[in-house]
């Protein structure tokens, strides 16, 4: 793609914006007159090529994190893949022309950026970004940062290691598809079990699940086998704690929390993407994009409506932008 020079970067851009909290269909609007964000010393300006959307975007739009959110109007979007077009004075590693990807908000719920990734340009701290693996398209790269970093952080927090068993609740979702792969192919799990609806069981197996559990037909907590770790990606913590070994660990990313489970909110870091790059480039760990996508930039509101059905497989991606 053609990289704009610093003189050709426009002052205004197209972006999806909400100026008040509410349902996506009511508050999210496409605006062609949004100011391109300024680059701070430790940031780069990215010409966005692709973005993906996450449940946190819709929850934020509803005002669920109002107390710690940045003020509206807001451009939503955490995940980005694109090309560096400008660098701040303190940027050391990245240069104009680099193809990068990342989750642009270091603290997911603590004053996330007002200028997110659902725009033609976004400004991001260098340490949140990594060079895009060459074998991945921009759309594939945009699908990964938030979910693969969340999967990785949860596994690290439980002390997951080679030879341990894990049960993944919500194995076909954005985070779940990455937990299965990381547990099996990066951490060396002895057994990976995962839940999904009937139509998605084969996907779970293709990602590395040894046991694919159809939640419409059986209750995972009734299985005779218990697991070293249960990773709850869907909000079934009260059931998750019944499926773990006595000395095992339960981690969740969706409240409420049932002791002894722990809940966490992702801290974004580009170094995790760098660490996982060999697995992505070798194909051992793959992006999983929902087959209905990618959605066009003009269809972003429709993409959110689809995400809210909870039927998406893997990630919902917006491409190309604009």
Phi/psi region, residue 183 (left: phi>0; alpha: psi -120 to 50; beta: rest), is alpha
Average pLDDT over residues 187-200: 98
Taking only the tens place, the pLDDT of each residue in 200-226 is: 999 999 999 999 999 999 999 999 999
pLDDT classification of 3: cutoffs 50, 70, 90: low
Taking only the tens place, the pLDDT of each residue in 79-119 is: 999 999 999 999 999 999 999 999 999 999 999 999 999 99
Taking only the tens place, the pLDDT of each residue in 140-188 is: 999 999 999 999 999 999 999 999 999 999 999 999 999 999 999 999 9
pLDDT of residue 5: 62
- 2 pLDDT more than 90: no
Look up tokens 């200028």; give the residue.
115
Helices (H) and strands (E) in the chain, counts: 9, 14
Bridge partners (DSSP) listed for residue 262? 251
Give CA–CA dist 50/52, Å, rounded: 7
pLDDT of residue 15: 98
pLDDT classification of 250: cutoffs 50, 70, 90: very high
pLDDT of residue 283: 97
What is the value of pTM for the model shown?
A: 0.97
- 298 pLDDT more than 70: yes
Give CA–CA dist 246/24, Å, rounded: 42
The mean of the pLDDT values for the chain is 97
pLDDT of residue 4: 66
Taking only the tens place, the pLDDT of each residue in 221-245 is: 999 999 999 999 999 999 999 999 9
The alpha-helical segments, DSSP class H, found in 36-165 are 55-61, 138-142, 145-157
Taking only the tens place, the pLDDT of each residue in 23-33 is: 999 999 999 99
Give CA–CA dist 134/122, Å, rounded: 22
- 192 pLDDT more than 90: yes
Residue pair 108/78 in contact (Cβ under 8 Å)? The answer is yes
Q: How many Å is the Cα radius of gyration of the chain?
A: 19
Taking only the tens place, the pLDDT of each residue in 4-57 is: 666 589 999 999 999 999 999 999 999 999 999 999 999 999 999 999 999 999
């Amino acid at each position: 793609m053609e990289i704009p020079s610093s003189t050709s970067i426009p002052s205004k851009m197209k972006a999806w914006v909400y100026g008040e909290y509410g349902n996506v269909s009511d508050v999210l609007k496409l605006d062609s007159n949004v100011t391109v964000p300024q680059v701070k010393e430790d940031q780069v300006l990215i010409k966005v090529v692709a973005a993906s959307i996450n449940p946190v975007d819709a929850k934020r739009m509803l005002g669920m994190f109002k107390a710690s959110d940045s003020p509206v109007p807001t451009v939503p979007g955490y995940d980005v893949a694109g090309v560096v077009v400008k660098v701040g004075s303190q940027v050391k590693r990245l240069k104009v022309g680099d193809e990068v990807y990342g989750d642009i908000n270091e603290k997911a719920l603590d004053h996330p950026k007002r200028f997110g990734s659902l725009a033609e340009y976004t400004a991001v701290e260098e340490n949140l970004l990594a060079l895009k693996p060459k074998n991945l398209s921009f759309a594939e790269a945009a699908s990964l940062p938030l979910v693969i970093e969340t999967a990785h952080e949860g596994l690290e927090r439980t002390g997951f290691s080679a030879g341990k068993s894990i049960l993944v609740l919500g194995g076909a979702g954005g985070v779940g598809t990455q937990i299965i792969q990381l547990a099996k192919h990066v951490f060396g799990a002895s057994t990976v079990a995962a839940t999904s609806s009937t139509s998605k069981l084969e996907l779970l197996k293709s990602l590395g699940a040894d046991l694919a559990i159809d939640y419409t037909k059986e209750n995972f907590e009734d299985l005779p086998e218990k697991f070293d770790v249960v990773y709850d990606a869907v909000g079934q913590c009260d059931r998750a704690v019944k499926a773990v070994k006595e000395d095992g660990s339960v981690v969740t990313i969706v409240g409420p929390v049932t002791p002894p489970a722990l809940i966490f909110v992702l801290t974004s870091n580009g170094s995790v993407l760098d660490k996982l790059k060999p697995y992505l480039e070798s194909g051992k760990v793959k992006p999983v994009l929902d087959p209905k996508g990618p959605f066009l930039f003009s269809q972003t509101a429709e993409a959110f409506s689809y995400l809210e059905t909870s039927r998406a497989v893997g990630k919902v991606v917006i491409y190309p932008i604009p």
